Structure 1
């Protein structure tokens, strides 16, 4: 009976150990973080250079709109 209990306890500890080492979804979270950082940097550049006129900000906004229009869900 004690051997059976030890085997079950070992099995549960292996399951718990494997559960703590699970890395599923970590890469998706990293990609979301990089995308959010890119958006923040783009918005900061737009704010820094201004959004009116034919400057860098206008070109950046046009390219961003063009990129977003190409995305299809």
Structure 2
């Protein structure tokens, strides 16, 4: 997995490593900011998971046409 970064509410989040062991660094200045960033990252990961699930289901449906 390539190194990536994204910005949520002006805070930079660095994500790198592997799919099995991702590393994420949050730049936050207070405990409440950490909580906000963690919940927003969690929802971002859930959206990514949903997109992957949809793509896999579509691919399975596509391959079912070729089943004998």
TM-score past 0.5 threshold: no
TM-score (normalizing by structure 1): 0.40
Higher relative contact order (CA 8 A, sep 6+): 2
Greater gyration radius: 1
TM-score (normalizing by structure 2): 0.42
The structure carrying a bigger helix percent of its residues is 1
The structure carrying a bigger strand percent of its residues is 2
